[in-house]
Amino acid sequence: MTNRTFAIIKPDAVKNNYSGNIIDHILKFNFKILAARLTHMTLAQAEGFYGIHKGKPFFEELTNFMSSGPCWVLALEKENAVEEWRKTIGATNPADADEGTIRKMYATSLGENAVHGSDSNENSAIEIGFFFSDAELIACQ
Ligand code: CMP
């Protein structure tokens, strides 16, 4: 699992029609897409997925936003995938993101920051498992 990460193209980016550009960016940066699905999370699903942030001041805003519209969930593969994807998407707050990163190009605010990326190998396995079974990951078939 160390070469896998989990990504979300969040509701703001889907609504703004950036899905195609972001998937193009994923492929240009040589991530292999092992699984992808368009989904509209329920509030309960968003609360479960972001359970690690429960109790933080932004939890309610975050889970309301993540359940406000469709998003793409993706399992990605590349050497050092977690670190590489975090480099590709840039800082959590787009105001701090480097030029050329996905958040710099497509995000508008800290709360609506276009994409998600796992922060560790341990969490990438948990997050991929939250949305996909092993049988749905093409490398496992
Ligand atoms: P993400 O990488 O999806 O992980 C948690 C999300 O919480 C983060 O991106 C931000 O979109 C959102 N968030 C909102 N407010 C904050 C905050 N003050 N600090 C960190 N994350 C925040």
Contact (CB, 8 A) for 117 and 55: no
Question: How many C-beta neighbours within 10 Å does residue 18 have?
Answer: 20
Report the C-alpha dihedral over residues 80, 4, 104, 42, rounded to 10 degrees: -160
Q: What distance in angstroms lies between residue 73's CA and the mean position of ligand 1's atoms?
A: 17
Which two structure tokens, joined as six digits, stand for 25? 């960016």
In a domain, 48, yes or no: no
pTM: 0.95
Tell me, what's the pLDDT at 141? 45
Q: Is residue 116 among the annotated active site residues?
A: yes
Residue 57 lies in a domain: no
Ligand 1 centroid–CA 57 distance in Å is 10
**pLDDT by residue (tens digit) across 29-46?**
999 999 999 999 999 999
Residue 113 domain flag: yes
The answer to whether residue 31 is domain-embedded is yes
What percent of the chain has a predicted confidence (pLDDT) above 70? Answer: 96
CATH number of 81's domain: 3.30.70.141
- Total domains in the fold of the chain: 1
Q: Is residue 63 part of a domain?
A: no
Q: What pLDDT digit, counting tens, does each position of 80-127 carry?
A: 999 999 999 999 999 999 999 999 999 999 999 999 999 999 999 999
Decide: helix, strand or coil at residue 36: strand
Q: Among residues 25, 40, 53, 116, which one is catalytic? A: 116
Q: Which atom of ligand 1 is nearest to the CA of 115?
A: 3
Structural domain includes residue 9: yes
